[in-house]
Amino acid sequence: MSTFSELPFIVANILAVIAELLILTGSIIYLAKKKTIPGWIMVLSSSVMLLMFVVRPVFFRFFADSFMDSDNLMQIQGVMSIVTTLASLAFAAGFIWAMTQLKKTV
What's the pLDDT tens digit per position in 28-62?
999 999 899 999 999 999 999 999 888 887 777 77
The answer to whether position 106 is within a domain reads no
* Half-sphere exposure at residue 68, Cβ-oriented, CA atoms within 13 angstroms: 15
The answer to whether position 56 is within a domain reads yes
Structural domain of residue 46, as residue ranges?
3-62+69-100
The pTM of the full predicted model, rounded to 2 decimals, is 0.78
DSSP string, 30-76: HHHH---HHHHHHHHHHHHHHHHHHHHHHHIIIIIHHH--HHHHHHH
The answer to whether position 105 is within a domain reads no
The answer to whether position 18 is within a domain reads yes
Overall domain count for the chain: 1
- CA–CA distance, 42 with 21 (Å, rounded to integer): 12
